[in-house]
Amino acid sequence: MDYRTYEKRLEYILELIEKGRFGSIEKVAKRFDVSTRTVKRMLQNLRDKGHDILYDKKIKKYFIKNTE
């Protein structure tokens, strides 16, 4: 995967999380035709860029923590 494609996918994942539509790592991996490990690395990359992405085990969803 080239850099441009990777960055677009990161933006897409961030948008899904913001809208509350990020289903599961497995679904995103299947959509992008990559491994679940790659999606986990992409989530970590977004965190490293400063996005406070958390996972709630009860509702089984990723979300961005509001700092307000």
pLDDT tens sequence across 10-62: 999 999 999 999 989 999 999 999 999 999 999 999 999 999 999 999 999 99
Which CATH number is associated with domain 3-64?
1.10.10.10
Secondary structure of 1-67 in the HEC alphabet?
CCHHHHHHHHHHHHHHHHCCCCCCHHHHHHHHCCCHHHHHHHHHHHHHCCCCEEEECCCCEEEECCC
68 has pLDDT over 60 = no
Q: Cα(58)–Cα(68) distance, rounded to whole angstroms?
A: 23
* Closest C-alpha among 9, 2, 1 to residue 43: 9
User: Is the pLDDT at 67 greater than 90, yes or no?
Assistant: no
